[in-house]
């Protein structure tokens, strides 16, 4: 074949393959919308997720599925009232290919609504709202974190082996309510009784009246969900009220992840359950931690892991469609089938797109939530109401 005929043949082959707009798009930058808090009580959580996500992308040469990545960033302030406007900026104005976010369950519910209505792929690297992989489960929605039920249930199993009565206290919104519900389900199944459920509005930190009430009730145990700055303040107030040595305090590991330094002595010895711990014995975690320390000069926490895994999951899906995010059905199939080699240990996704994962018992020691034991292996959210 001479040169001219070869060129003609190649051009013809390309025409048959059909250089569609989607393929043209598959060669440009992949637009990722990061909707996370960078201000407010969950600011540190949002930053850790961003760091983890970017670490994986950097390890992959700045690309996912062979495509260079471009970030569009919105600070959602963990404010549900601004959520729809914020997500619209990413979907309608910036026209991102993928939405990644967020931390706060109420904000994530609003975000997922827009994602559903516009058929935009959404990967949730934290917010645990049970509905997102339950009643509201959807083909375009994936989670690399947990459902609120999961850590609550794991902690309830453990506390149920040790105590018969408990008082719960949390912020009154989806995450707090659902982490208490999961706790109560397992705790009462084990023969315990939740004798009082206390709440205060998010993100209030006036804990004094609640501490007075807990001291008067004298339960065998206290279970709380707070995170970020609010968690640090609560644990310090609990110790200052003299309760730390009289009524054992438990919670999902969010209470002590990324907050131990701020808690000082008050946080030492706290026992929590979570799908991540310091001192896990796996090579992936060791490499991840070394990389994170090098990039950010601080140790990673569960939020960094969840962000890293969001990028890993997206990368696995995009690799299967050679970076062409417009091949939605194939992309979704690949995401569903992905096996994630996470720093937390390997996990796969349930049919509702939520991680099926181990929950660890951890004990706060210095700045670490040290791995003590596995509380529940391969815990799957019940995905109540999911019809997928």
In the complex, which residues of this chain contact ligand PHB (CB under 6 A)?
42, 103-105, 126-129, 148, 175, 227, 254
**Closer residue to ligand PHB (CB): 42 or 149:** 42
d(CA 83, CA 111): 7
**Closer residue to ligand PHB (CB): 129 or 159:** 129
Residue 345 CB, nearest approach to ligand PHB (Å): 19
Q: What share of the chain is helix, strand, coil (3-state, %, to 5)?
A: 45, 20, 35
**Closer residue to ligand PHB (CB): 42 or 234:** 42
Residue 175 CB, nearest approach to ligand PHB (Å): 3
**Closer residue to ligand PHB (CB): 26 or 127:** 127
| Angstrom distances, CA of residue 324 to CA of 68, 119, 127 | 12, 16, 27
Q: Measuring CA to CA, which residue among 254, 247, 301, 299 is closest to residue 273? A: 254
Residue 133 CB, nearest approach to ligand PHB (Å): 12
**Closer residue to ligand PHB (CB): 149 or 187:** 149
Residue 239 CB, nearest approach to ligand PHB (Å): 21
Q: Which two tokens stand for residue 137?
A: 């489960």
The conformation of residue 353, written as its DSSP 8-state character, comes to: S
d(CA 167, CA 1): 82
Residue 176 CB, nearest approach to ligand PHB (Å): 8
Mention every residue, 6+ apart, whose C-beta is less than 8 A from residue 12: none
Q: Measuring CA to CA, which residue among 117, 186, 121, 198 is closest to residue 153? A: 186
**Closer residue to ligand PHB (CB): 33 or 203:** 203
Residue 288 CB, nearest approach to ligand PHB (Å): 19
d(CA 128, CA 121): 17
């Amino acid at each position: 074949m001479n040169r001219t005929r070869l060129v003609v043949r190649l051009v013809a082959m390309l025409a048959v393959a059909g250089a569609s707009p989607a393929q043209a798009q598959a060669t440009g930058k992949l637009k990722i919308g990061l909707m996370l808090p960078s201000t407010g009580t969950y600011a540190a959580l949002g930053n850790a997720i961003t760091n983890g996500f970017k670490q994986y992308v950097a390890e992959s040469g700045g690309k996912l599925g062979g495509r260079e990545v471009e970030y569009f960033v919105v600070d959602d302030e963990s404010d549900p009232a601004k959520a729809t406007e914020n997500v619209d900026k990413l979907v309608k104005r910036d026209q991102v290919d993928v939405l990644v976010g967020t931390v706060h369950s109420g904000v994530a519910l609003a975000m997922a609504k827009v994602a559903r209505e516009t058929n935009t792929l959404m990967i949730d690297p934290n917010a645990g709202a049970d509905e997102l992989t339950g009643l509201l489960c959807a083909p375009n929605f994936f989670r690399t974190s947990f459902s609120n039920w999961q850590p609550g249930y794991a902690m309830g199993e453990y506390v149920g082996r040790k105590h018969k009565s408990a008082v719960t206290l949390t912020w009154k919104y989806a995450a707090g309510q659902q982490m208490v519900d999961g706790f109560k389900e397992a705790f009462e199944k084990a023969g315990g009784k939740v004798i009082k459920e206390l709440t205060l509005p998010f993100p209030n930190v006036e804990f004094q009246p609640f501490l007075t009430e807990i001291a008067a009730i004298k339960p065998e145990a206290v279970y709380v969900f707070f995170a970020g700055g609010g968690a640090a303040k609560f644990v310090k107030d609990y110790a200052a009220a003299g309760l730390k040595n009289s009524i054992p305090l438990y919670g999902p590991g969010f209470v002590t992840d990324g907050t131990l330094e701020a808690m000082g002595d008050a946080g030492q010895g706290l026992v929590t359950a979570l799908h991540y711990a310091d001192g896990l014995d796996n090579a992936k975690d060791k490499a991840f931690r070394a990389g994170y320390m090098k990039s950010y000069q601080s140790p990673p926490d569960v939020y960094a892991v969840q962000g890293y895994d969001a990028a890993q999951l997206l990368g696995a899906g995009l690799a299967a469609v050679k970076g062409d995010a417009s091949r939605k059905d194939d992309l979704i199939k690949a995401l569903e089938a992905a096996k994630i080699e996470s720093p937390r240990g390997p996990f796969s996704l349930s049919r509702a797109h939520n991680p099926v994962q181990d929950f660890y018992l951890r004990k706060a020691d210095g700045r670490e939530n040290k791995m003590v034991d596995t509380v529940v292996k391969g815990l799957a959210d019940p995905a109540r109401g999911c019809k997928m």
